[in-house]
Structure 1
Amino acid sequence: MSYYRTFRGFFRIIFSLVYRWQVIGREHIPKEGPVILCANHISLWDPPLLGSGIERMVHFMAKEELFRIPVIGFLITKFGAFPVKRGAGDRAAIRTTLKVLEEGKILGIFPEGTRSKTGEVGEGMPGVAMFALKSQAQVIPVAIIGPYRMFRPIKIVYGKPIDLTALREAKSSGDTLKETTNLIMTHIKALRDHHRS
C-alpha cells in the first residue's frame, strides 16, 4: 500500500500541474465495502487518473503482456493491477476479480474493453455486467472528459451508485447481462454529457 500511495501522489502532481485536473463527485465513493468503478476509456492515462481521484486503493485488470515488461510490470502490480488474457475467457482473472470484490475492495474497469478512437462513449462488453450481478458491489459510473493535452483541463466525474436491485433479482440470462451493460453505459454517457461543457 505504501508503493500505491507513493505512485498515487506522483500521478496527482502530474495531473495537477500538467493537465489541471478537476475531480468531481468524490463523495459518491463508499468509504468501505466492494465497489466497481465503470469508466469510459480514452487514453493510457485513464487507469492512474481513475485511481488517483479517490483515497481508497483501486484494483485493475491489465493485459498480461504488460507484466512481462521490466519495470512496467513491477509498477502496475504495485498500482493494483492483475493480469488478464485478452480475447479469451480467462477464468483465473475472473476468479481474481470476484475475489477482489468479495474482500470489499474497489475494482476499476473500462466496459468498452478498448480505448475510444473518437472520444465518444462506445458499447460496453458484458463482462462488467457479470461482475456487477455476481457481486453485491456498488456500481459507480465514471466519466473521463478529455482530451489529455498539456495545460488543458481534464475532468474525472464519479457519479452516484447505479441501482441494480431489480436486475440482480431477475433470472440471470443473456438479456439480463445486456440490459445491465446498457444501463451502466447509459449512466456513463449521461454523466459525461452533463459535465462536458
Structure 2
Amino acid sequence: MMLYRLFRSFFRGLLTLTNRYESIGQENIPKSGGVMLCSNHISNWDPILLGCGMERQVHFMAKAELFKIPVVKNLITAWGAFPVNRGAGDRQSLRTALKVLEDGKCMGLFPEGHRSKTGELGEGQTGVAFFAMRSDCAVVPIAIVGSYKLFRKIRIVYGKPLDLSKYREGKSSKETLALVTQDIMNAIDELRKANRMEVSKR
C-alpha cells in the first residue's frame, strides 16, 4: 500500500504539470465497502488516472501478457492489477474480481472493453453488469474528459453511485444484464456531456 501511495503521489504531480489534471466528485465514492468504478476508456493512462483521483486503492484487470515482463509486472502489481486472459473465458480472473468486491475493495472497470479510437463512448459489455449483480457492490459511473496530449487539460469526474436495487429483486437474466449495462453507460455519457464543453474551453 505504501508503494501504491508513492506512485499515486508521483502521477498526480506529473499529470498536474503536464495536463492540468483535475479531479471532481471524490466525495461520491463510498468510504467503505465494495465499489465498482465504471469509466469510459480513451487511453492506456486511464487506470492511473482513476487511481490518482481518489484515496482508496483501486484494483484492475490487466492482460496476462503484461505480467510476463519482469519490471512491468512489479509496477502494475503495485498499482493493484491482477492478470486476465482476454477472450479465453478466464474464470479465475472472474473469481478474483468478485473477491475484490466482496472483500470490500475498489475495482476499476472499463465497460467498453477497449480504448475508444475516436474519444466517443462505445457500446458497453454486459460483464460489468455481471459483477454489479453478483457482488451487490456500489457502482460509481466515471467520465474521463479531455486529452493526455502535453499541456492539454484532463479531468476525471466521479458520479454518484447508481441505484440498481430494482434489478436485484429477481434473477440476472440476459435482459436484466443488458438493462443494467445501459444504465451504467448512460450515466457515464451524462457525465461526459456535462463536462466536455467546459474542459474543451480551457
TM-score bin, normalised by smaller chain: over 0.9
Please name the residue that 1:187 is paired with: 187
TM-score (norm 1): 0.98
Please name the residue that 1:64 is paired with: 64
Other structure's SS at 1:169 match:
coil
Q: Contact conserved, 1:62 with 1:81, CA < 8 A, in 2? A: yes
Please name the residue that 2:120 is paired with: 120
- How far 1:77 moved relative to its partner? 0.3
Equivalence map 1:147-166=2 (5 Å): 147-166=147-166
- How far 1:89 moved relative to its partner? 1.3
Q: Is the counterpart of residue 141 in structure 1 residue 141 in structure 2?
A: yes
Q: Is the counterpart of residue 38 in structure 1 residue 50 in structure 2?
A: no
Q: Which runs of 5+ in 2 are unaligned?
A: 198-202
The amino acid across from 1:92 in the alignment is Q
- How far 1:3 moved relative to its partner? 0.9
Q: Contact conserved, 1:141 with 1:184, CA < 8 A, in 2? A: yes
Aligned counterparts of 2:175 and 2:135: Cα–Cα separation in 1: 18
Aligned counterparts of 1:171 and 1:26: Cα–Cα separation in 2: 32
Please name the residue that 1:176 is paired with: 176
Instruction: Please identify runs of 4+ aligned residues in structure 1 that moved more than 2 A.
Output: none
- How far 1:24 moved relative to its partner? 0.6
Q: Contact conserved, 1:62 with 1:84, CA < 8 A, in 2? A: yes
Q: 1:102-149: per-residue Cα shift (whole Å, max 9, x none)?
A: 110000000101000000010011110000000121000000012211
Between the two proteins, what is the percent identity of the paired residues?
60
Q: 1:69-124: per-residue Cα shift (whole Å, max 9, x none)?
A: 12111100010000001112110000000100111000000010100000001001
Q: Which runs of 5+ in 1 are unaligned?
A: none
Aligned counterparts of 1:73 and 1:126: Cα–Cα separation in 2: 28
Other structure's SS at 2:93 match:
helix
Aligned counterparts of 2:142 and 2:88: Cα–Cα separation in 1: 26
The amino acid across from 2:49 in the alignment is L
Q: Is the counterpart of residue 25 in structure 1 residue 25 in structure 2?
A: yes
Q: Contact conserved, 1:170 with 1:176, CA < 8 A, in 2? A: no
Aligned counterparts of 2:88 and 2:182: Cα–Cα separation in 1: 22
Other structure's SS at 2:94 match:
helix
- How far 1:172 moved relative to its partner? 1.6
Equivalent residues, number: 197
Aligned counterparts of 1:121 and 1:30: Cα–Cα separation in 2: 25
Aligned counterparts of 1:146 and 1:45: Cα–Cα separation in 2: 12
- How far 1:170 moved relative to its partner? 2.6
Q: 1:147-189: per-residue Cα shift (whole Å, max 9, x none)?
A: 2111111110000001000011132211011111111001000
Please name the residue that 1:74 is paired with: 74
Aligned counterparts of 1:187 and 1:92: Cα–Cα separation in 2: 29
